[in-house]
Amino acid sequence: MPPRQKTKFEQWFSWSRHQRRAGAAQALQELHAVDIEQLKQQIISGDSIEYTYGSAKDLQQHLNALRAEFVGSPELAHYHASLIVLLRRDVDVASNYQRLKQLWLAERDFLLGCLNTRWLISACDSMIDHDDDAVLQSLLMNAVMLINTLKLQETEAILCQHDYAEDPKMREQLQQQRVALFDGTSAFAVGTDDTLRNMRWRLEKICRLHPLGQIVLEIFDRLQQASNPNVYLRFKQRHQRERTRWW
């Protein structure tokens, strides 16, 4: 089993969590005064798209840095990303999740047309985390599992040569910088990445909704067993950070 997810009470005592929420009042004021139709028409200017790698502790600094990911896209794409950042940092969660969900219900086709896969998956993650609809959570989990499995395969194709032998220089690069894959997605930071642990937590949440959800967890656990060689097992063998393991 992966490390236990901290409760909201335990998270409250995290100094890092409070640091990452600093400046939330200003961000909320700016985001809540938006005109959705206007954001759909305004295009973010810039010379080229630049993806963030990690995130600044300062909330406003991180939101500003994110704008460079949406050069050439409508302002609504950055607004959507900003709501997700606020949710990840536990800022006014109930209100901001309702804004995110209502945005998707009202502007689904527009968002599908302007968001890359990276931000579509981020939206799925947020709805799995915060929505009460078990059907919606289950549907969206399909996309998360699909993309993360593809990212594992594509990362391994970059990392390894023949017979799964790693290229040490590429492993070091994957640890130190963002390596692009496709449509805004990026490769895993081999050995430390928390993506699969977070996916496992979401999978467990959904599987608890029905007694037979245990079938899914059993299959996922079998992918981590030495007798069943596959990409999940190989990344398990490469993993080093205890607090981000997914098995």
Residue-wise pLDDT for 159-193, tens only, equals 998 889 999 999 999 999 999 999 999 999 999 99
The per-residue pLDDT of the chain, averaged, comes to: 92
Q: Considering only 7-21, 52-66, 75-89, 126-140, which range has the smallest mean pLDDT?
A: 7-21
pLDDT at 16 over 60: no
Residues 43, 73: Cα–Cα separation, whole Å: 5
What's residue 28's pLDDT?
72
**CA end-to-end distance (rounded Å), the chain:** 5
* Residue predicted with more confidence, 63 or 33: 63
* Strand stretches in the chain, DSSP E: none
Q: Considering only 45-54, 97-106, 148-157, which range has the smallest mean pLDDT?
A: 45-54
Closest CA to 236 of 141, 152, 180: 152
Alpha carbon 101 to chain centroid distance? 17
DSSP 6: P
Cβ-proximal residues to 172 (8 Å cutoff; 6+ apart), any chain:
none
Kindly report, residue by residue over 200-243, the tens digit of the pLDDT: 999 999 999 999 999 999 999 999 999 999 999 999 999 999 99
What's residue 15's pLDDT?
52
Total length of the chain: 247
